[in-house]
Amino acid sequence: MVDPAAPILIFDSGVGGLTVLEQVRKLLPDAPVIYVADRAALPYGDKSEAEIAARVCGLLGRLAERYHPRLICIACNTASTIALGMVREVLEVPIVGTVPAIKPAAEMTRTGTIGLLGTRATIRQAYVDNLEAQYAQGKRLLRHAAPELVQAAELKMRGIAPDPAVFARAAEGLLGQPGGADIDTVVLACTHFPLLEEELGKEFGPSVRFVDGAQGIARRIAYLTKGQSFARAQDDFAIDTSHDQDPSPLLPAFQSYGIGRILRL
């Protein structure tokens, strides 16, 4: 029997997982949530696989022991593609990961050419190669690492306008490749990136559609918690692992997602 107050723990390197939280709220509005932003280690995309795996496994182990979540969602493509299997081996709690939305993109594309924007760590993973081989056979998948978009999303959520050149470079990184002009669907393979869809849309133009995995993740979470009771013993809150960054500028953005306070780990 699951404690009705047991939270769903949503974990990301920063604010990107809020895009997943938004979809979870739509399906499970009564579910208690703890959001964890590992800003002490941001950005994940520039770290080695070994660093990310050790960091994510260790941190989620501590969080699970302290907060006893009913389910953990790793709302980060980089962490999921590298550490998901290891975390599942270590923790006796359902774990939902985040994977690039290549399957729906392959179903959506009309030209057969798909773009993928991610972090450096994500786009080089064999996991992505396997998704391409499984779901995008006969299609062309062009990849581009756009790490600047992570910081741009973090700035935007603090109320600071990012440099527009960041979005132009991300678009050119895909459209400028051989065959890039045929792209009609772009996979946003980092949970930070949908926060910037409006800005990216201006650079890619109206003929390009964006797809991310947030809705599919929320459906999976709803499926795994089906039949469980939900009751908030306290207001939902966030945890920030950073000790040298003031989280208060992020509070208005978090409040818009139903997170009333940010604690330090």
Segments making up each domain of the chain, as ranges: 8-98+215-264, 102-212
Q: Is the pLDDT of residue 108 over 90?
A: yes
The angle, 0 to 180 degrees and rounded to 10, between the axes of the packed helices 49-67 and 77-90 is 60
Residue-level pLDDT at 182: 98
Q: Is the pLDDT of residue 27 over 90?
A: yes
For residue range 13-23, list pLDDT tens digits in order: 999 999 999 99
Find tokens 């979005």 and name the residue.
Answer: 167
> Which CATH code for domain 102-212?
3.40.50.1860
How would you classify the pairing of strands 33-37 and 237-240? parallel
Mean pLDDT of 122-149: 93
Give percent above pLDDT 70 in the chain: 100
Mean pLDDT of 50-79: 95
**Radius of gyration, alpha carbons of the chain:** 18
* Catalytic residue selected from 37, 166, 190, 196: 190
Distance of CA 108 to the CA centre of its chain: 21
Mean pLDDT of 155-166: 95
Q: Is the pLDDT of residue 121 over 90?
A: no
Residue 76: active-site member? yes
Judge whether 194 and 210 are in contact, CB under 8 Å: yes
Residue-level pLDDT at 25: 97
Query: Does the global pTM surpass 0.85?
Result: yes
Q: How far apart are CA 236 and CA 244, in angstroms?
A: 23
* Catalytic residue selected from 71, 76, 116, 259: 76
CATH class of residue range 8-98+215-264: alpha beta
Q: If DSSP codes are grouped into helix, strand and coil, which group holds residue 38? A: coil
Q: Is the pLDDT of residue 125 over 90?
A: no
The angle, 0 to 180 degrees and rounded to 10, between the axes of the packed helices 214-224 and 18-27 is 50
Q: If DSSP codes are grouped into helix, strand and coil, which group holds residue 83? A: helix
Residue-level pLDDT at 245: 82
Residue-level pLDDT at 265: 81
Mean pLDDT of 85-100: 93
CA distances 249 to 19, 156, 236, 245, Å, are 18, 11, 18, 10
For residue range 204-234, list pLDDT tens digits in order: 999 999 999 999 999 999 999 999 999 998 9
Q: Is the pLDDT of residue 246 over 90?
A: no
Q: How far apart are CA 189 and CA 191, in angstroms?
A: 7
Q: Rounded to a whole number, what is the distance in angstroms from the first to the last CA of the chain?
A: 28
Residue 190: active-site member? yes
